[in-house]
Structure 1
């Protein structure tokens, strides 16, 4: 659903850019509360993993494909504020390096693919987790539903932006019907990928899933024939488990997906591209400012073999995204540590 330059006029693109910048600023502050010594490096990995999986377009209908948006996955794994930042990093790398998603439309893309998907998915996820029985199955189910609904929600958000600032005179009702219709199907793929990934992390390290924190089932005791919660004992101190195995496994998986599996992805246009071509939304599309990038269109210029060219581009993308993302999240984490140090220093001792 990467919106290219020329779909949305300049005033609305600027307004969306301002809104996206505000959302990123709020998320930077909110991420300070979510990131700790475990999740800071994993957040960069989540961004790289989303980048890799977005290269795996899957068929959803005749001549149409879809790909992961990633907002739901990021929000559930590392938190909603950090999730917005993860998707924003991915979109920034894709726009600058790979000419995927217009640079003047970056604000639109962050708003639609980052902010809207995270807000919808995480709100639904938290609501379902509260009403479903406590357990890993409920977390996975809630992740599935949140991811499923976030995609048509993002399609509806794009339609709303198009209604205000679209550069073509296409009836909004037709755009809405086409966009939401195809993205409901794409949402199924999004839900399967999100639930599978969240379930896999839950199986090995449930403590690393932000959305699963605090979901331990209380011990029950039978008193006078009734089940009551047992008194909560202070947990015994345990040594912090290293996140290195998870980080290495996740990075290798992302590299394999982007460097090898992406070659077998569907070549059909994605949902937005298909709707734009069918309805005429792309009549004023503009050439991307990064069209001459060495890795534009996810292929390395000068490498004649298509498989090798695409694989190298994917590996480069994963590497750059994990480095940039991890750097940003470590800075945010450091700011949190500085804030905590300043707060503790300001508290007078008895």
Structure 2
């Protein structure tokens, strides 16, 4: 759902940019509370993993594909404020290095995919967790529902932005129906990916999942033929370094972006398909970095498509990981400095 330049006029794009800057500023402050010793090392990895999975377009209908937005996944794994920052980092790297998503539309993209998707997903996730049994399974179920709803919510948010500042004259109702319809299908894929990823991390290290803290089911022991709850682990127990999870996540992201992405669907994604069918792409502009060496997720000068795309994916994962890790380390350091001053 990367909005290109030319879909939204300059005044509305500027307003969306201000909203995005404000959201990032608020998220920087909020992330200081979320980025503790467990979350901080993984936040950059979450951004890099989302970048990798976004390269994996999956078919959702005839001639249409979809890809992960990642708002729900980021919010549940590392917290809503940090989640907004993760998506912002991904969108910045995609726009600058890969000519994916317009630079003048960066504010629109961050607002729609970073802010709306994260807020809707995390609000629904927390609401479900409060009413469901306090188990790890409830977290995975809640993550599925939250991710499913977040995608059409983001599509509706784009449609509202288009209704105010669209550069073409297409009836609002037609765009809304088409956008929400196709992105509801995409939301199913988003929900499955989010649920599987959250479930995998919970199975290995539930303490690393922000949305699962304090929600683990008691361990059962068999005593005299009956199952009884074991004594809870000491709060002071150290689960150990997240190094293995970090390494596994990096390897997975590199394999997905460097190898699996070659087999992704080549069909236009939901927004591209709706734009072409409804005519809202008539004024689309060439991307400012269309001549980038990595434009369109390929390395300029390398003719072999598999090698070119795979290498571009690996570079993207590495660059996103480096930028995200550096940014979150600085936020974490600010938290430590503030605590020391108190």
Could you say whether these structures have the same fold, taking a TM-score greater than 0.5 normalized by the shorter chain as the test? yes
Distance 2:72 2:235 in 1: 33
Distance 1:39 1:288 in 2: 35
Contact residue 218 and residue 232 of structure 2 kept, 8 A: no
Distance 2:36 2:153 in 1: 31
Contact residue 72 and residue 121 of structure 2 kept, 8 A: yes
Contact residue 97 and residue 295 of structure 2 kept, 8 A: yes
State TM-score, norm by structure 2: 0.95
Distance 2:170 2:294 in 1: 33
> Aligned-pair RMSD on alpha carbons?
1.6
Q: How does 1:101-120 map to 2 (within 5 A)?
A: 101-120=101-120
In the alignment, structure 1 residue 288 sits paired with structure 2 residue 287: yes
Q: What secondary structure sits across from 2:281 in the alignment?
A: helix
Distance 2:125 2:325 in 1: 26
Q: Which has the larger radius of gyration?
A: 1
- Alignment partner, residue 128 of structure 1: 128
- Alignment partner, residue 175 of structure 2: 175
Q: How does 1:1-350 map to 2 (within 5 A)?
A: 1-217=1-217, 235=234, 237-343=236-342
State the Cα distance separating 1:98 from its structure 2 match: 0.1
- Alignment partner, residue 347 of structure 1: none
Contact residue 5 and residue 286 of structure 2 kept, 8 A: yes
Q: What secondary structure sits across from 2:322 in the alignment?
A: helix
Q: What secondary structure sits across from 1:178 in the alignment?
A: helix
Q: Deviations along 1:207-241, whole A, 9 cap, x unmatched?
A: 00000012145799xxxxxxxx99x9893633351
Gap runs ≥5 in structure 2: 221-228
State the Cα distance separating 1:38 from its structure 2 match: 2.1
Distance 2:128 2:161 in 1: 29
The structure 1 segments of at least 4 consecutive aligned residues displaced by more than 3 Å after TM superposition are 216-220
Rate the CA distance shift 1:201–1:233 in 2: closer, same or farther, 3 A: closer
Contact residue 258 and residue 310 of structure 2 kept, 8 A: yes
State the Cα distance separating 1:36 from its structure 2 match: 1.3
Rate the CA distance shift 1:65–1:237 in 2: closer, same or farther, 3 A: same
Rate the CA distance shift 1:53–1:219 in 2: closer, same or farther, 3 A: closer
Rate the CA distance shift 1:219–1:191 in 2: closer, same or farther, 3 A: closer
Contact residue 136 and residue 216 of structure 2 kept, 8 A: no
Distance 2:16 2:200 in 1: 35
Q: What secondary structure sits across from 1:284 in the alignment?
A: coil
State the Cα distance separating 1:41 from its structure 2 match: 1.6
State TM-score, norm by structure 1: 0.93
Gap runs ≥5 in structure 1: 221-228, 344-350
